[in-house]
Structure 1
């Protein structure tokens, strides 16, 4: 799904950025340009960032438990 129409950023690209090391909205803005134009994507981008970080933590926890 598109999160930022101004920059053409999808939730998949945000998740990829998180897997690549992005951990903050500032880093997403620098890497992908989200929230750098009209700002309407801020809430959605933050939600996807939070979800992606939780997915990373869950994957790390599962790897440690194995």
Structure 2
């Protein structure tokens, strides 16, 4: 699904950039080599960044929790 119609950025691309280190809307656009246009996608990208970061944190925390 397209997240940013103006720049043709889809959800897979957003998730991949976050997994590769993007931590903000600006860093997602920078990683894609794009610049924001209308801003309608900001809320969705912000949510996706938060969700992906939380999922990655949970995965990295699981072994430590299991070891306790």
State the TM-score bracket (shorter-chain normalisation).
Answer: 0.7 to 0.9
Give the corresponding residue for 2:47: 47
Distance 2:38 2:11 in 1: 18
Unaligned runs of 5+ in 1: none
* Structure 2 length-normalised TM: 0.81
Distance 2:5 2:29 in 1: 14
Distance 1:63 1:5 in 2: 39
RMSD after superposition? 1.5
Q: Quote how far apart the aligned CAs of 1:65 are.
A: 3.5
* Structure 1 length-normalised TM: 0.83
> How many aligned positions are there?
65
Q: Quote how far apart the aligned CAs of 1:63 are.
A: 3.5
